[in-house]
Amino acid sequence: TVMKNQNKNDLPSMSKPVRVRFAPSPTGPLHIGGVRTALFNYLFAKKNGGTFYLRIEDTDQNRFVPGAEEYIMEALEWLGIAPEETVGKNEKFGPYRQSERKHLYRQYADQLIESGNAYYAFDTAESLDAHRKQHEAEGKTFIYNHHNREKLDTSLVISKEETEKRIANNEDYVIRFKTPVNETLHLQDIIRGEVQFQTGLLDDKVLFKSDGMPTYHLANIVDDHLMETTHVIRGEEWLPSMPLHVMLYRAFGWDAPEFAHLPLILKPIGNGKLSKQGWNDGTEKELFSLDELTAAFDLKRVHKSGAKFDPEKNKWFNHQYLIKQKDELLAKAFAPILIEKGIDISKFDLNRIVSLVKDRAHFVTEFWEMSDFFFVAPTIYDEKARKNWKEETPTLMQELISVIEEITDFTSMNIETIVK
C-alpha cells in the first residue's frame, strides 16, 4: 500500500487562515534552538497574515521545572516575538496548557480503539524486560511492532470480555497505536521535499500511559487539530515522528497540517548538536529588522543541512545592533547594573557615558568595565607610571584637577587645549 500526504508546498490554503504554534515543554530555560523554532513560526505567521500561538506541552510531569513556563513567555516577549494567543491571553481555543486539556484526550484514544487503530497492552515492565533479554540472547533487537504484538499481552490476543474485566479490575495498561503493515509512506516536507517511510520498520508507539496521561504523540495531534494548526514548523529531531503523526491524522479522518522540519543547530566545531541557521534571503545581507525579516522570509529557502552556531559571530551581531541603538535606551539598560553596585545614577549623564563606550562593547554588561573610572576613584596605579612620577607631580595633579573642575565646555577638544 502506498500512502501520500497531499501537501507539496508552503503556500497556505486560501480557505484556511494560517495558524502556527510554538509548543515547548516547561522543562528548563529556552535554548537557542527553541528560539529559532519560535522565530520561524512567528515569521511564517506574519508573512502570511496568520496567527502565531504558544501552547505549553506539560504532559510529562516528571520533567516539569517550576518557573520554566513563565521564563519561556517572558523570553518571547523580550525577543519581540510574543504569541497572539497563549495561557491567559486570547484563549480562543483554550486551555493552552496541555495538563488542563487532559480530559479531552481519553475520548480520542477510545475512538482509535473502536476504529481498530489502537489496542490495549497489559505488559508489565518485567515481562517486557524479559522479552528484550530473550531477543538479545538470540542476537536480535526487541521492537514492539507487528511482528510481536500478536504474541504479547494485548487486547489483540485476549477476548473483549477478558480485556474489559482486566480494565475493571484496575489492572495497569497502556494504549498503543496499531501501526499498519507493509505500507510505503510518501510524505511531503516543505524543506526536505518527499520523505519516504516503511511502516514495517516502525514500532507501535504508546499513545496513552498507565498514569492516565496521553503521550506527546496523541496530545500533540489532538491539540493541533482542535486548535486548527495549518503548518507544523519544528526541529529535525521530530522528523522520525512524522509518519506516526500523519497516520494518526488519517486514523482520525482529519486533514493533516503541512510539515516543515528545521535543520539542527550544531556546535562550531564538529557535528555535535548544540541544542537543538539554516536560512538566508538569497543575498549577502546579514542584519535585518524584524519587519525586514518578515518580508523576506520563505520556508523554501531553509537549508536541509544543519548550520553551525558561531558564538563569536553572534557577539558581532550583538555589537552591530548595540551601536545602532539609541543612547537613552542603552543608558536605561545600563542603569540597573550601576544601581546594583551602589552608584547614585542621578549624579551622572549616562547617555553621554554610554555613547563613549558602546562602539567597543558587545554587550551592555561590558559597559561597566569600560567606564568604571567615571563612577569610582582608582585604588591602584600602573607600576610603569612610577618612572614618570616626580616630586612635584602631586602638586601639578592637584592644579590639573582644579583646572578641569572649572571647565564648562567639557569636550575632548577643549580639555586638550586647556591642559596643554
The answer to whether residues 252 and 111 touch, using CB atoms and an 8 Å cutoff, is yes
Please, what's the largest Cα pairwise distance for the chain? 106
H or E element at residue 308: strand 307-308
Written as one letter, the residue type at 261 is H
Catalytic residue among 47, 178, 205, 276: 276
CA–chain centroid gap for 199, Å, is: 29
The answer to whether residues 4 and 187 touch, using CB atoms and an 8 Å cutoff, is yes
Written as one letter, the residue type at 271 is N
Helix ranges, 274-365 (H): 290-296, 311-324, 327-340, 350-357
Question: Is position 276 annotated as part of the catalytic site?
Answer: yes
Distance CA 299, CA 303 (A): 9
Cell triple for 126: 518485567
Whether the link from the prior residue into 240 is cis, omega within 30° of 0, is: no
∠ at Cα 111 (109, 115), nearest 5°? 120
**For 262, phi and psi rounded to 5 degrees?**
-75, 145
Cell triple for 316: 558581532
Distance CA 222, CA 99 (A): 13
- Look at strands 231-235 and 258-262 and give their pairing: parallel
**For 101, phi and psi rounded to 5 degrees?**
-110, 5
Q: What is the CB neighbour count within 10 angstroms for residue 197?
A: 20
First-to-last C-alpha distance (Å) of the chain:
91
Q: Hunting for cell 479490575 — which residue is that?
A: 169
Distance CA 290, CA 110 (A): 45
| Residues tagged active-site | 276
